[in-house]
Amino acid sequence: MTSHAKAVVIGGGVVGCSVLYHLAKAGWTDIMLIERSELTSGSSWHAAGGFHTLNGDPNVAKLQAYTVQLYKEIEEISGQSCSLHLTGGVMMADTRERMDFLRLAHAKGRYLGMDTELITPSEAKAMFPLMDETNFVGAMWDPVEGHLDPSGTTHAYAKAARKLGAEIVLRNRVVELTQEVDGTWNVVTEQGTVKAEHVVNCGGLWAREIGRMVGVELPVLAMEHMYLLTEPMPEVEEFNTSTGREMIGVMDFKGEIYTRQERNGILLGTYEKACKPWSPVNTPWDFGHELLQPDIDRIAPSLEIGFKHFPGIEKAGIKQIINGPFTFALDGNPLVGPVQGLTNFWCACAVMAGFSQGGGVGLALSNWMVHGDPGFDVWGMDVARFGEWATLRYTNAKVRENYSRRFSIRFPNEELPAARPAQTTPVYDTMLANNAVMGDSWGLETPLWFAPKGSEPKDIVSFHRSNDFGPIGEEVRATREKVGVTEIANFAKYEVSGPGAEDFLNRLMTNRMPKTGRIVLTPMLNEFGRLIGDFTIAKAGDDRFMIWGSSAAQKYHMRWFEKHLPKDGPRGSQVRIHRFDQTLVGLSIAGPKSRDLLQKLVDVDISTKAFRFMDFREMAVGGAPCMVNRITYTGDLGYEIWMAPAYQRLVYKAIKEAGEEFGLVDFGMRALLSMRLEKNFPTWFRELRPIYGPFEGSMDRFIKLEKNDFIGREAAAKEQAAGPKLRRVSFIVDAADADVMGDEPIWAKVGGKDYGTVERPHGYGAPRFDAGGKEVRGSKAAEGASAVRGIVDGDWRVVGWVTSGGYAHYVEKSMAQGYVPAALAENESAGLFEIEILGHRRPARINVEPPFDPSGEKMRT
């Protein structure tokens, strides 16, 4: 074992070996993998070995597609067989709602380069004759599904990495991690200490323990997972002989089961409701190549449905039941990337679908480590997406919930109950008393909408307009015509101060910093000119700035801020960043009567001239010390009022009492999002995210290229000079009883005219590499996109995708935002566009000017 390495990867499962391989392909050969036992000694060896490309997050789906494409290449490089079986698979729907979900997934696949197809139950039965098709209403076929040999695949990654110079050390447990002042890591093992510049936690079942070595409690939990193998079945052998094919894989929502052929029998696994955590507090270091005691009674309800749906399997004898632990994060996606607050400590863990995602995780993380950027939009896997509220007990409750819902549909208006409430504001009980339906916003309870008095405050979950539709409309109309109040504690809040604060922010942000007492809106870019942030910034005083942004991105943005803190100079060394989280909370009032209301609560002049649009001021509101911004996300006259939690009840009570004469109403986040649609305002992580440039995102007026050499300026200038390929646009949609939810394809009647690839961009801008180490500029899927089934229909072609939308209640229009080729972005012609909603293409028209107050007069009044 060498004593020094550029990077040490801890853990020899499929993910650790993939990371090692991709680092070596990217040019790092002074690298080492350390495994406490043998390769695949954790979860990899007993995995069912299935793989697929579909994922609820399109960006994760792209990385899964890369993983599947990679297998034949690593076989060639390593000389090790992965035993790849590309059988294809179907997802079976037994209800209208589940069929709606499949229609959504199929539509999303149109611009992801996926060749999925909606088929009948009879067509599915022809490929898997063991099913009773009368139990189902439809299915979706995906040809890029199958299974492989987990051990062989892991060793293929390892052998390929070794060929490129990487070192693998087995039977050597890491016992301690310490860091020197210069940032070098001491990786202390049973066989000695390795000095490393970077450490990667690929610990799998032991990822939590590795994290604790550096003071981090990662939100991961291992769950027991069972699948069974049948004895050889004559029906399987007969199908193989008569067709010359292997049986396909099948996923059954109702039974929460998956099946595939295994030799001459069937493998059947389940994600049962009565799930069971494994070692919920500590993972024993001596656990190895062993299985857990099967508990068939626990999965009996799923098996009962499975045998009804697939009667051909019920008659088969059970040869073996496999029960082994797999690690999960709260939402089922991996934890990948650098850990905020630490230097060169990386995670690639909680990859429960290791043979679907392991290759993509390895590629993204190696890009991140080598080039400073993952090369893909990996927010759905970023370790920074969870906050401090994701404690051990919170994690255990949420992972159990996620596991039990693995094959359940998540409706767009569905709020999951486990581990809630975790964080609450001082007015939480008051909101509940006002009949609020609460939602989880980065661990914080936030009012979504207010149910009428006497009715149960509860969402009826649906893909269609639901029971919140009428009440949200009332909230919007009352706010637009009179005045409304909403809680905004779920915004991110920061203070940047010190003599170097303004220089620091000017370097990070694209817009000029405001004068004292004024506010600016500004994006933030990475080095490749991609949108990584969108902020409201107020200059509160000399060398002091208040910043507001997206709550879900707090650790993501803090990681970026800390990375770029100036290191040298008397001014640069005096930049301080403070993240308030819930030590600063807020309320917003909006509507034409909001000034009259606020004037009753303050002792200063807030007339139009005295307190202008985009002004900031510290003042007492209702007797409480507050900070007030004259701005609101509704796009109307309004104010954001910020205070310490101790004063929130006082301020809210004062607003409610003073607002009675003006017809004040409470409104929730869904009404706020409805009103922002009417103004064509974008949202962070939907319209604005790191796959888009600032001019593609239609953020032109906030990009001051002439101000200074801010991060990403050169790339942004190139984008402006060349002209953006895409543009964010707003649509009015002729919807029926369902509005867009996001990720729907946008069709255009363009005849034979080619507006470029329809594939959704996936890169942050960093170089990307294929399995052979060659830099790639586009994906294989994009190269053949026009030939993919379903993106061309006569004169119609899929030209873009929806990012978000819903119903704009005041203007009474269904609206959507999305991206289309720039050449089409200002074409407001009727009959040019259609948006596919739940399998039905609905007429849509670009609306360049916002339908509510297009001149912006109301918010400036």
Which pLDDT score, from 0 to 100, does residue 474 have?
A: 98
Q: Over the stretch 121-151, which tens digit does the pLDDT of each residue have?
A: 999 999 999 999 999 999 999 999 999 999 9
Pairwise pLDDT comparison (344 vs 783), residue with the higher score: 344
CA neighbor of 332 nearest in space, from 228, 255, 225? 225
638 phi, psi to nearest 5 deg: 180, 175
Please compute the mean of the pLDDT values over residues 495-518 and round it to a whole number: 97
Predicted confidence (pLDDT) per residue in 511-535, tens digit: 999 999 999 999 999 999 999 999 9
What tens digit of pLDDT does each residue of 13-70 get? 999 999 999 999 999 989 999 999 999 999 988 898 999 887 878 888 888 889 999 9
Rounded average pLDDT over 445-449: 98
Mean pLDDT in residue range 275-304 = 93
Between 259-263, 479-483, 568-572, the lowest mean confidence (pLDDT) is in 568-572
Q: What is the pLDDT of residue 831?
A: 96
β-bridge pairing 665-666 and 484-487: parallel
pTM: 0.94
The percent of residues above 70 in pLDDT, for the chain, comes to 95
Cα angle 587, 589, 594; round to 5: 150
Looking at residue 454, its pLDDT comes to 94
pLDDT at position 535 is: 98
pLDDT of residue 773: 39
Residue 345: Cβ-neighbour burial (10 angstroms; 0-12, 13-18, 19+):
buried
Q: What is the DSSP string of 366-424?
A: HHHHHHSS-SS--GGGBGGGS-TT--HHHHHHHHHHHHHTTTS---TT----TT--SB-
* Structure-model confidence comparison of residues 831 and 779, the more confident one: 831
Quickly state the pLDDT bin for 270 (edges 50, 70, 90): very high
- 610 pLDDT exceeds 60? yes
- In angstroms, rounded to a whole number, what is the distance separating the alpha carbons of residues 590 and 606? 15
Query: Buried (b) or exposed (e) across 641-672, using 16+ Cβ within 10 A?
Result: bbbeeebbeebbebbeebbeebebbbbbbbbb
Give tens-digit pLDDT for 760-793. 665 544 433 343 434 443 333 323 333 335 788 8
Kindly report the average pLDDT of the chain as a whole number: 93
- Which has the closest alpha carbon to 813: 741, 698, 743, 730? 730
Question: What type of residue sits at position 586?
Answer: G
Q: 554-574: per-residue pLDDT in tens?
A: 999 999 999 999 886 545 468
Q: For residues 341 and 215, what is the distance between their CA atoms, to the nearest angstrom?
A: 10
Beta-carbon contacts of 304 under 8 Å, excluding residues fewer than 6 positions away, are none
Q: What is the reported pLDDT for 771?
A: 39
Cα of 718 vs its chain's centroid, Å: 29
The least confident of 450-464, 700-714, 780-794 is 780-794
Residue 112 confidence class, pLDDT cut points 50, 70, 90: confident
Provide the pLDDT for residue 759. Answer: 65
Report pLDDT for 772.
41
Q: What is the pLDDT of residue 63?
A: 86
Q: Is the pLDDT of residue 392 over 80?
A: yes
Nearest to 113, CA basis, from 842, 797, 791:
791
Spatial neighbors of 659 by CB under 8 A, at least 6 apart, are 483, 485, 589, 597
Report the percentage of the chain scoring pLDDT > 90: 88
DSSP string, 734-798: --SS----S--EEEEE-TT---S--SPP---SS-EE-TTS-EESS-HHHHTGGGSTTSEETTEEE
Report cis status (omega within 30 of 0) of the bond before 421. Answer: yes
Evaluate if residue 316 carries a pLDDT over 90. Answer: yes
Q: Which of 430, 413, 388 is nearest to 653 (CA)?
A: 430
Q: What is the pLDDT of residues 183-214, one digit of tens each?
A: 999 999 999 999 999 999 999 999 999 999 99
Half-sphere exposure of 314 (CA within 13 A, CB side): 13
**How sure is the predictor about 173, in pLDDT bands with cuts at 50, 70 and 90?**
very high
Instruction: Count Cβ atoms within 10 A of the Cβ of residue 613 and give its class: 0-12 exposed, 13-18 middle, 19 or more buried.
Output: middle
238's CB contacts (< 8 A; 6+ apart) are none
Token pair belonging to 243: 């067709």
What gap in Å lies between CA 567 and CA 500, rounded to an integer? 11
Contact 234, 335 (CB under 8 A): no
Rounded CA gap, 186 and 625, in Å?
49
Distance CA 369, CA 212 (A): 22
Q: Cα-flanking dihedrals φ and ψ of residue 193, to 5°? A: -110, 135
**Residues pairing with 57 in the sheet:** none
Residue 772 vs residue 381, higher pLDDT? 381
Judged by DSSP in three states, 178 sits in strand
Angle at 543 between CA 538 and CA 548, to 5 degrees: 30
C-beta neighbour count of 251 within 10 angstroms = 23
Mean pLDDT of 664-670: 98
pLDDT of residue 569: 53
Stretch 667-695: mean pLDDT = 96
Q: Which of the four pLDDT bands, split at 50, 70 and 90, describes residue 288?
A: confident
More confident residue, 315 or 224: 224
